Structure 1
Amino acid sequence: MTHASTGQCELMEPLVARVLAPNPSPYTYTGTQTYLVGAQDLAVIDPGPDEPEHIGALLAAIDDRPVLAIMCTHTHRDHSPLAARLKAETGAEIVGCAPLVLDDHGPRADAAFDRSYAPDRVLADGARVTGEGWTLEAVATPGHTSNHLCFALVETDALFSGDHVMGWSTTVVSPPDGDMAAYMQSLDKLIARSDRIYYPAHGPAVEKPQRFVRHMAGHRRQRERQILRLLEKGPQEIPAMVERMYVGLDPRLHGAAERSVLAHLIDLRNRELVLTEGDAWRSR
């Protein structure tokens, strides 16, 4: 699959098109990818940031077709803010993840929660939205955020994976809402499925998803082992751990790496493998 081009409607398969929002960053890669599902009538997945350029591109791609649902995988500000304006333009209801407002002390502005998000209907795990020739099923995948959903396109075995599985980078799991144990359980849940392809909110499509997700889970377990080995040498503070674990990482991403290390440490503490000692962590 090719990379998306900002503002262009690109057909991925007969029932799926994508439009890239103009919000590239070290954390969003080329930007947020909004997906249009359907041919005669539509669902819009992850409408994205409230940018005039993006709403214009989406309305051009919709081309006066009925929009039945505006569906959000989660409520970070690069995913859901445009939902209200798109609802006003199309009359579609906003459905998908639950609202979540939390002061996120993570390192990135685009990871803050969207306080304006007001769904007309919250989808439970397994709930479905249907249109002409398409069915989208909610797949609860907490971890990146506690309210994260993926959406499975039943007719073609495609999965819209939001930020849970991205095509370009590992996912940031940032406490207090991000939960590493829940994230790993959600990865296992996806491994057990038989989806043919993933369409993530950032990065290219994932064409061998089970193998890809097994690799992601293995990477997380490797990070966990790195942490435990470092703590065997004595108490460690998180910034020093990141310096050792993420050699060559873009300095702009150090804050995100610190949040993911913290998420691992909280999980290890809950499993009674490590404990805190002031600002440092040590083996139990």
Structure 2
Amino acid sequence: MLPVRTPTLPPATHTNTFLIGTGEAVLIEPATPYREEQDLMVQWVQSARLGGVEPVAILATHHHPDHVGGAMALRERLQLPLWGHAMTAQRLDGIVEIDRLIQDGERIELDGPTPTALTALHTPGHAPGHLCFIEEASNIMIAGDMVASIGTIIVEPTDGDMLLYMESLRKMSTLEPAGLLPAHGTLIEQPEAVLSFYIEHRLMRERTVLNALEARGKASRPRHLVASAYADTPKALWPLALQSIEAHLIKLEREGRVWKEGDRWAPVPAGN
């Protein structure tokens, strides 16, 4: 694992990159747009090549800038193809070309002194084309931006989907990974506890959003709810909280628990 500096959300400052394989290998997360950090990645790969490890591709977990900021440069400098999900390819269209599409459940086999196999897991919610990768021998999951051990995960209302995000967390949990390697922070050694916490935290926040909406008793915009729904959060983070509130409201609307008129939401009356 090599953390590289990226334009990510504080308090995180770096995105983890991974080189997986003992002969053939894949480089996961072409994250950094900064030349000096790309130089570090190239040196890392070149050193691995001297040791007999030969990358065959670069894998993108999703399309956000702190995960593919170096995709074009590293693709050219390392002369490696870029692989990712079809929805990631759509969002990177005109920016960088995805050379091969990865499907949910696809198995990536890597030859070497100790053969390695990764299974791709489509986990939409934070981003439509988000992929996790499970290293089969260790059962460790490279988790991208589904969880973090530093900072938090934002599910915003246009690119994200709160309903799918929570479904993806549950999908990850059912696989019972031995550990989670997030894009931000260190190895998560208690994955079941962390995934359960993420699910429960989102359900808790959903309740506070709904309670805030019911307390106002009328159709409201997210900014009307933030002080109540995020009373436990510093005001400096309320701009991010507004995105989460709207994502929760969209989920609640799809579930028939609130209704929307224009840019305002209201609770569905009891008995409807």
TM interval, shorter chain, is 0.7 to 0.9
Question: Would you say 1:33 and 2:16 are equivalent positions?
Answer: yes
Aligned residue in 2 for 1:85: 73
Query: Which of the residues 60, 67, 70 maps onto 2:58?
Result: 70
- The corresponding residue for 1:57 is 40
Query: Which stretch of the first structure deviates more once superposed, 159-168 or 92-101?
Result: 92-101
Show CA shifts across 1:87-126 (max 9, x none). 2222222112223556xxxxxxxxxx78523111110001
Q: Is the 8 A contact 1:197 1:209 kept in 2?
A: yes
Partner residue, 2:223: 239
Match of 1:188 in 2: 170
| Cα distance in structure 2, aligned partners of 1:259 and 1:248 | 16
TM-score, normalized by length of structure 2?
Answer: 0.87
Distance 2:262 2:74 in 1: 48
8 Å Cα contact 2:75-2:82 kept in structure 1: yes
Distance in 1 between the 2:267 and 2:126 partners?
Answer: 26
CA distance in 2, matches of 1:198, 1:69: 22
Aligned twin of 1:10: none
8 Å contact kept, 2:143–2:183:
yes
Return the offset for 1:253.
Answer: 2.9
Bigger fraction of residues in helix: 2
Q: Mean alpha-carbon deviation: is it higher for 30-39 or for 116-125?
A: 30-39
Matched, 1:43 2:41: no
Gaps (5+ residues) in structure 1? 1-17, 103-112
Matched to 1:41, the amino acid is E
Q: Contact 1:168–1:203 at 8 Å: present in 2 too?
A: yes
State the alpha-carbon separation in 2 of the partners of residues 47 and 121 from structure 1.
15
Q: Does the 8 Å CA contact 2:213/2:225 hold for their aligned counterparts? A: no
Distance 1:232 1:97 in 2: 39
State the aligned residue count: 257
TM-score w.r.t. length of structure 1: 0.84
Cα RMSD (Å) of the superposition? 2.0
Following superposition, the deviation at residue 248 of structure 1 comes to 5.5
Counterpart of 2:159 (choices 172, 177, 180) is 177
Instruction: Choose 1 or 2 for highest CA Rg.
Output: 2
Q: CA deviation at 1:250?
A: 4.5
Where do 4+ consecutive residues of structure 1 move more than 6 Å? none
Corresponding residue to 1:137 among 103, 111, 119: 119
Contact 1:96 1:138 in 2 (8 A): no
Aligned partner of 1:128 in structure 2 is: 107
Q: Percent identity?
A: 32
Give me the whole-angstrom Cα distance separating, in 1, the residues matched to 2:37 and 2:20.
Answer: 17
The residue correspondences of 1:1-284 to structure 2 (distance < 5 A) are: 18-23=1-6, 25-27=8-10, 29-62=12-45, 63=47, 65=49, 66-98=54-86, 99-100=88-89, 116-131=95-110, 132=112, 133-233=115-215, 234-235=217-218, 236-247=220-231, 249-284=233-268
Give the superposition deviation at 1:55. 1.3
The one-letter code of the counterpart of 2:61 is T
